[in-house]
Amino acid sequence: TKNLSKRKWFILFGNPAIYFLMGTTNAGTKEPLALLEEALQGGITHFQLREKGRGALTGDALAEFAAECKGLCREYGVPIFINDDVELACTIEADGIHIGQDDMDCGQVRKQIGASMALGVSVHSVKEANEALTCGATYLGMGPVFGTRTKSDAKPPAGVAEIIKVKTQYPHVPVIGIGGIEPGNAEMVWRAGVSGIAVISSIAGAQDVAGQIERFKQSIPGRRVG
């Protein structure tokens, strides 16, 4: 299958992104692939496989699950990113990889993945943004904006102040807000200038996944209709 990022016309963050992150441990009582498909049907625009925590898949089981996630994402034309696992990202020919500050050096990652795979880097300041962009980041993740219970080692809630600073310094760089984002608090994140919002629990834990994604879409300023 084709690597979406190799297509010249492919713009990674052209429209406001509803970027869903999930691993098998976020699926609750649902079957993880069924949850992903519900989210794809509901209209997520980006997907990141973030397989973490107690009972997380490893090895062949993880590679198999990742390949299944990619297959589903392809059916819906949604790019798939792999959290913090260069080897896995390359094995399944993911569209991108996402790393944090405590993960591999981003220059090293860019070298290993080559030019055509997208590279997302989590940053918390203009300084970290500058470093990430220097080593070839495609987009930046920033958060946690609000309190989150999903990431055990998350920093304290940062609000949107640093997002605004980074967007002021780098207006054309896509920034994705993350951390405790729900339909009811998403508007201030959009207004900070993000290209998208990244969500785990508010989508993975929703009764009506498609309905929740629709509520996120309605939270985009100026997109309250249609």
Which residues belong to the active site? 50, 122, 151
Residues 6+ apart with CB under 8 A from 186: 197, 216, 219, 220
**Partner from Mg ion, ligand TZP, none binding residue 201, C-beta < 5-8 Å depending on class:** ligand TZP
Q: If DSSP codes are grouped into helix, strand and coil, which group holds residue 187? A: helix
User: Contact with Mg ion (CB under 5 A): which of 37, 103, 131, 182?
Assistant: 103
Indicate which of ligand TZP, Mg ion, none lies near residue 84 (CB less than 5 to 8 Å, by partner kind).
Answer: Mg ion
Among left, alpha and beta (phi > 0; psi -120 to 50; other), residue 53 is: left
131, 201, 210, 215: which one contacts ligand TZP (CB under 6 A)? 201
Distance between CA atoms of 196 and 70, rounded to whole angstroms?
A: 21
- Give the interface size with Mg ion as a residue count (CB under 5 A): 3
Q: Which does 103 bind (CB under 5 to 8 A by kind): Mg ion, ligand TZP, none?
A: Mg ion
Range list of β-strands (E), the chain: 17-22, 46-49, 80-83, 96-99, 118-123, 139-142, 175-178, 196-199
Based on CB atoms, which residue is closest to Mg ion, 137 or 206?
137
Q: Work out whether 200 is an interface residue with ligand TZP (CB under 6 A).
A: yes
CB contact at 8 A, 98 and 121 = yes
Among 38, 51, 84, 128, binds Mg ion (CB under 5 A): 84
Of the candidate spans 34-42, 57-65, 106-114, 178-186, the one that interacts with ligand TZP by CB under 6 A turns out to be 178-186
Which residue in 154, 164, 188, 220 binds ligand TZP (CB under 6 A)?
Answer: 154
Answer yes or no whether residue 85 interacts with Mg ion by CB under 5 A: no
CA 113, distance to chain mean position in Å, is 18
Joined together, the tokens standing for residue 8 give 């010249």
Q: How far is CA 194 from the centre of its chain?
A: 13
Contact criterion met (CB below 8 Å) for 157 and 189: no
**Binding status of residue 212 toward ligand TZP by CB under 6 A:** no
Residue nearest Mg ion (C-beta atom): 100
Which residues bind to ligand TZP, rule: CB under 6 A? 143-144, 148, 150-151, 154, 178-181, 199-202
